[in-house]
Amino acid sequence: MAAVIKTVNLTKRYGSLIALSNLNLEIQEGDCFGVIGPNGAGKTTTIKILATLLQPTWGEARVCDFVVGFQSRQIRPLIGYVPDYFGAYEDMLVREYLEFFAAAYNINGVGRTKVVQDVLELTDLAYKHDSLVDGLSRGMKQRLSIARTLLHDPKVLLLDEPAGNLDPRARIELRELLKTLRNMGKTIIISSHILPELQDMCNTVGVIERGELLYSGPWTELVKKVRTGTVVHVTVASHQEQAAALLSQEPTVENVGNSNGYLEIALKEGITDYSFVPHKLIAAGFRLTMLKEEEVNLETAFMRLTKGIVQ
């Protein structure tokens, strides 16, 4: 099966600044692909090139096997692009706003009325159809942006920081909407700084730093890649320093550190059994109040993989 999105040595320069350097990506149909990286890493540049809004300096980007720059007219009907800011036309009613864009896609007559109603219901905005766009909350405006991109039923959605500045409820509602769209078979590329949410929504991710792709693939494999060994977090009711000294004597322990009020016990390479920890502490008279293995998630993996360097 051909990739829906494919880039080969994709590079974008602004004078001496290299925004993207030889980016090679493949995103399959139905993937929800998270683009993550620090500010200035090249995330927005990548999405804008795929949206046919920027021309690469060299290299190639393909969307549904059409080449950006040479076949952009064929690409645009296949994509829906949501930038990291809301557009103009805030003096329109919600339904008028959607009808305006539906007309731009040559959706007319009864078909336009139906498709506008369908996307209003899909994005849970039907009850706001007669409200002014300017009066919507930030979260509702973001859902309206997505509704606009769905009018022509695109195969690919390109979302640049869609959860930026949203309150917790709006982020949850947006996350559920994106899950629904993925279940409908849409291929979604999304950039975000909120990594726990990307972990929940995406099956694949790409990590970009200073314009270079450090990793691309399932986020679960990234977590396995950066995991260096078993780390256990422990707290005791009192005398934490003495507990640390006791555990440091164990031959299977590499290091014991103090982090945010708990002991961080790193086991030696290949050791995964930490059942000795509670036994030792309780036998020595310590009152154990917490014991858990450190979870390595997407956020942890990102911090270990990147260096925090920006352009």
Q: pLDDT by residue (tens digit) across 71-104?
A: 999 999 999 999 988 776 778 999 999 999 999 9
pLDDT score at 259: 78
Q: What is the pTM of this model?
A: 0.81
CA-nearest of 172, 165, 219, 221 to 197 is 172
- Tell me how far the alpha carbon of residue 162 is from its chain's centroid: 10
Give all domains of the chain, ordered by start, each with its CATH number. Answer: 5-225 (3.40.50.300), 228-295 (3.30.70.100)
Residue 280, amino acid: K
Q: Which two tokens stand for residue 106?
A: 């040559």
pLDDT score at 311: 47
Helix, coil or strand: residue 33: strand
Compute the mean pLDDT over every residue in the chain, rounded to the nearest whole number: 90
From the first residue on, what is the mean pLDDT of each consecutive set of 10 residues in the chain (311 residues)? 90 92 95 90 94 96 96 96 82 95 93 96 95 91 93 96 82 88 94 82 91 91 80 92 94 89 89 92 94 84 70 47
Q: Which two tokens stand for residue 230?
A: 């078993």
What residue ranges in the chain does DSSP mark as E strands?
5-14, 17-27, 32-36, 58-63, 66-67, 79-82, 156-160, 187-191, 204-209, 212-218, 231-236, 253-259, 262-267, 288-293
pLDDT score at 1: 59
CA-nearest of 128, 129, 168, 162 to 146 is 162
